[in-house]
Chain A
Amino acid sequence: MIGSATGNVIEQNLVTGNTNGIYIAATVGQNVIRNNTAIGNPAIQVGNTRPETRALDIVNLSPADRTVFDRNKCLTALAAPCPAINP
């Protein structure tokens, strides 16, 4: 989770079963999110029993083009690319 910070790099992390996976708040600086695997956020049990949580693998609330996303693996996201994942 990043607030209005700059120059931070989040890379090669495995993020699963959390309320949100990777959460980027309304960032004003340039940050890089790359090569992370964020899948199963929230856990299916939470998603089924608490649908109001509305959580995702990647949530990006920063202004367009401020956060760089590169080669992350995810299934659900807001304003971040989730490339197709083959079984």
Chain B
Amino acid sequence: MRTSLLATAVFVLGAVSVSVTTQDRPDSVSGTITRTFSIVANTQLTGDVTCAVADGTPCFSFAVPGVELRLNGYTVTGKGDPVTGCGGAVTTGEVGITTNAQRGVVVRGPGLIQRFRNHGVQVAASDGARVEGITVSTNCGSGIFVPATSFNTVVQENTAVRNGSSNPGLSCGGI
């Protein structure tokens, strides 16, 4: 009985101590994504990416601090209608890239983030994040969104074109 309890305790402690750690080997991604891509290492695009993730979920989400997503000149495309956009509405949570409260992460261009039904890039609850050299276009929220919970962000040398909702009162736009 005591052995069984000990084994159970070890199992439980092991389970709760599991956390995401930075992967040593760089990652690469291209093609169609059907689940949110968790960034656990320096990651680069090796081709265009089409995001077919579940409604209301991000395409890319940082899962560890201090790593970089390099777009390498490729395009990341969301589920917004190419002609009508979002008809003024935004879909909560459906962003292109979220920093997901990770410290010191980088989104680096050149590259295009387009047609997301919310923000293109969301710097969410992060300290020291950088968004550099990308183009954000036709996203239904803001192209690059830096909310109240983010500090010491650098948003530098980006191009924001045709982002935001046409609905009056929505506080969104390029940056």
Main secondary structure of the interface of B (DSSP, over half): loop
Q: Give the number of chain A interface residues (Cβ < 8 Å).
A: 36
Report yes or no: B174 in contact with A5, Cβ–Cβ below 8 A. Answer: no
Complex Cα gap A12–B136 (Å): 15
> 0/1 per residue, B141-174, Cβ < 8 Å to A?
0110111111111111111111111111011111
Q: Which chain A residue shows the least CB distance to B130?
A: A9
Complex Cα gap A22–B157 (Å): 14
Which A residues are CB-close (under 8 A) to B168? Answer: 50, 52-54
> 0/1 per residue, A7-47, Cβ < 8 Å to B?
11111111111111111010001000000001001110010
Answer yes or no: A83 CB below 8 A from chain B CBs: no
A1-B142, A25-B171 known; A19+B151 contact, CB < 8 A? no
Complex Cα gap A22–B8 (Å): 55
Shortest beta-carbon distance from A53 to chain B in Å: 5
Complex Cα gap A37–B4 (Å): 67
Report yes or no: B157 in contact with A1, Cβ–Cβ below 8 A. Answer: no
Answer yes or no: A77 CB below 8 A from chain B CBs: no
Which A residues are CB-close (under 8 A) to B166? Answer: 19, 42, 46, 50, 53
Complex Cα gap A16–B46 (Å): 28
Q: Which chain B residue shows the least CB distance to A1?
A: B142
B172 touches which one: A6, A23, A43, A54 (CB < 8 A)? A23
Answer yes or no: B175 CB below 8 A from chain A CBs: yes
Complex Cα gap A10–B131 (Å): 10
A12 touches which one: B156, B163, B170 (CB < 8 A)? B156
Q: Which chain A residue shows the least CB distance to B119?
A: A1
Interface of A with B (CB < 8 Å)? 1-23, 25, 29, 38, 41-43, 46, 50, 52-55, 59
